[in-house]
Structure 1
Amino acid sequence: MKKIISCIGAGIITIAVQAQEHRFDPPWNDAPEAAVNFTVPGIDNVPDIYGDINDPQLVVFFAGNQFMCVDDLLAAFKKQYPQYKRVLVETLPPGILAKQIQGGSLTIGNMRITVQPDIYAAGKARVASMNTLFSDTATYAYNSLSLMVHQGNPKKVAGLKDLSREDLRISMPNPAWEGIAKQIEKAYIAAGGERLLEAVMKTKVADGSTWLTKIHHRESPLRILNEQSDVAPVWLSEVLYQERMHHPVESIKIPASENIRATYVIAKLKHAIHSCAATDFFNFMQSDEVKRIYRKYGFDTDG
């Protein structure tokens, strides 16, 4: 009998641990309504594909760090343009989205997506590097960097210079496809010169204490929340969003002398399949309503 109770007890502990592992998992927004909702944390969960993948009337690729704005943006856009019922949005890293545009397809798990965007929205430099693909562009928002740490700042991180410390585990965007990484590297140089950059991006990568993410706007918060990393350079809007959800994180301010200001640009594809919808969304993204939404989530805007 004791053995049976012991086994049952172990099973309960295992279930509790598994639940604990996924309690912070995205999606962090309200999922679209459907006849069946079959989201399984850690198994079947695709938080960066939004809306209607079948016969969309508009396809938008947003750089991933704007994921928190999507629900409000789509609700406001559909209210202003009620003729658009089916909208598909991807919020993956901008470099991955660029490769998807160039290659024509994307696979996540066993799902292959071949839709092409009507609108691409990302950092100014990324959009400029792809300018031959676009018929029109416009600036719509700005952002700055912050450090995300666990609530209470248990490792007493004071600023960027501390990231060279041997005892700190860092969650860092991968420069290979995440635009924020290049901006963070500039901040490292401003704060501690090439020595700090080398410590974080070479020495600590080699010893495993700098973790290079594949999708930082999901991975970095989760690594902080699950105590796998101690500090993560992120966009200010990202840490504010986690605080907004009452997740146990907090922000360490990066002074203006070490910080950068990112500029977000929206672009309409020259060969947009849904050209009229693309034009409507392009104009919508420059409206006062959109500025209000972005400011709500910690971005800056003109006006």
Structure 2
Amino acid sequence: MASLSWPDETAGPIDGGELRLVQPGSNVCLDFHGDPLRARLVVVSDGNHHMALREVLAAFLAENPAVEDVFYTTTPPRVALQLLRAGHLDIGNLRLSVKPHVMISPPPVLDQAVAAGHMAAYRPFMRGRGAALLVKKGNPKSVLGAADLLRDDVRLFMSNPITEKVSYETYLGALRRLATVEGVTLGFLVHALGQPDPGKLIYGKSIHHREAPQALADDQADVAVVFYHLALRYRRIFPELFDFVQPAAWVQDGGTEIGRADCGLVGDGGAWGAALLDFLATETVTQIYRTHGLEPARQR
């Protein structure tokens, strides 16, 4: 099947006449948004809440036109840490050298940025409402819970345990809790790290919030475990392709810190970083995130 046609996710307006050098399956760059030369604000973020972040940054830019543009990334956390350490990031044959002003990521990742001296502190931001099972439209394999994952005709997609450790461990924990509730054992999850049974479990390579729906669309997997807000996003933008199931145990997980992302300044935050942090604490932002299936994080 052809690559999924993702909607535009830049924060600033576009006139629709720009030449876009995109070849699905080869030359495509989905998680780097905006003009790094014109932008006066650079935000590096984990990617699983990218749909809400786009709306928030667009609203901030509309209120603060002097920013001109917001350049933001929605990659796995390790990519943001690499950018902070090296001062640049290589994307294919393109080298991107930008200085981030704000970082949004899970607390363990921000702790690393603080320990390395890139950030002084960070504050609570948002959290998810548990996990969900992403399935094809109409749920043709009738996957409803952990027991169904044991069937010979069901293949599961998960994020990569090495390149996306935070999300992988979150999903693994959610699956194990669900299996305990249902009284089953997901034995195929017990294997040498990075070497799953390809007939039962496949891993993404590096960016699961793009790879999970593509794996189902390509018929490489029948179900993917993702955050609830990601499943909601896929069903909204690709309604003809996807549905999702959220078992009751995972609805209860929505009251925990699954899918948490906090935020803070990188260095002094430049001219606009502090203003963005203040904006992120507003009710406007809370309502945008709630529309996309997330809630404010609690004070740790």
| TM score, norm. by length of structure 1 | 0.83
> Which residue number in structure 2 is paired with residue 142 of structure 1?
127
- In the alignment, the residues of structure 2 paired with residue 186 and residue 222 of structure 1 have an alpha-carbon distance, to the nearest angstrom, of 23
Question: Is 2:257 the partner of 1:261?
Answer: yes
Higher helix proportion: 1
Which one has the largest radius of gyration?
A: 1
By how many angstroms is 1:63 displaced? 0.5
Q: Which amino acid aligns with 1:182?
A: E
Question: Is 2:268 the partner of 1:278?
Answer: no
- In the alignment, the residues of structure 2 paired with residue 269 and residue 169 of structure 1 have an alpha-carbon distance, to the nearest angstrom, of 41
- In the alignment, the residues of structure 2 paired with residue 49 and residue 284 of structure 1 have an alpha-carbon distance, to the nearest angstrom, of 22
> Which residue number in structure 2 is paired with residue 25 of structure 1?
5
CA RMSD of aligned residues (A): 2.6
By how many angstroms is 1:55 displaced? 4.3
On the 8 A contact 2:40/2:67 being kept in 1, the answer is yes
> Which residue number in structure 2 is paired with residue 206 of structure 1?
196
Q: Which amino acid aligns with 2:291?
A: K
> Which residue number in structure 2 is paired with residue 45 of structure 1?
28
Q: Which has the larger displacement, 231-240 or 61-70?
A: 61-70
> Which residue number in structure 2 is paired with residue 7 of structure 1?
none
By how many angstroms is 1:247 displaced? 3.8
- In the alignment, the residues of structure 2 paired with residue 85 and residue 109 of structure 1 have an alpha-carbon distance, to the nearest angstrom, of 27
Question: Is 2:282 the partner of 1:287?
Answer: yes
Alignment of 1:1-303 (within 5 A): 20-22=1-3, 24-27=4-7, 29=9, 32-33=14-15, 35-132=18-115, 133-143=118-128, 144-178=130-164, 179-192=166-179, 196=185, 198-200=187-189, 202=191, 205-209=195-199, 210-213=201-204, 214-245=206-237, 246-256=239-249, 259=253, 261-262=257-258, 263-272=260-269, 275-301=270-296
Per-residue CA distance 1:25-50 (angstroms, 9 max, x = gap): 33554784464233332232211110
- In the alignment, the residues of structure 1 paired with residue 167 and residue 216 of structure 2 have an alpha-carbon distance, to the nearest angstrom, of 18
By how many angstroms is 1:191 displaced? 2.6
By how many angstroms is 1:197 displaced? 5.7
Aligned to 1:70, what secondary structure does the other structure show?
helix
Q: Which amino acid aligns with 1:199?
A: F
Aligned length: 281
% same residue: 25
Q: Which amino acid aligns with 1:145?
A: A
- In the alignment, the residues of structure 1 paired with residue 190 and residue 207 of structure 2 have an alpha-carbon distance, to the nearest angstrom, of 17
On the 8 A contact 1:161/1:191 being kept in 2, the answer is no
Q: Which has the larger displacement, 25-34 or 227-236?
A: 25-34
On the 8 A contact 2:9/2:51 being kept in 1, the answer is yes
- In the alignment, the residues of structure 1 paired with residue 265 and residue 91 of structure 2 have an alpha-carbon distance, to the nearest angstrom, of 25
| TM score, norm. by length of structure 2 | 0.84
By how many angstroms is 1:302 displaced? 6.1
Change in CA separation of 1:39 and 1:70 when aligned onto 2, cut-off 3 Å: farther
Q: Which amino acid aligns with 1:191?
A: L
On the 8 A contact 1:148/1:251 being kept in 2, the answer is yes
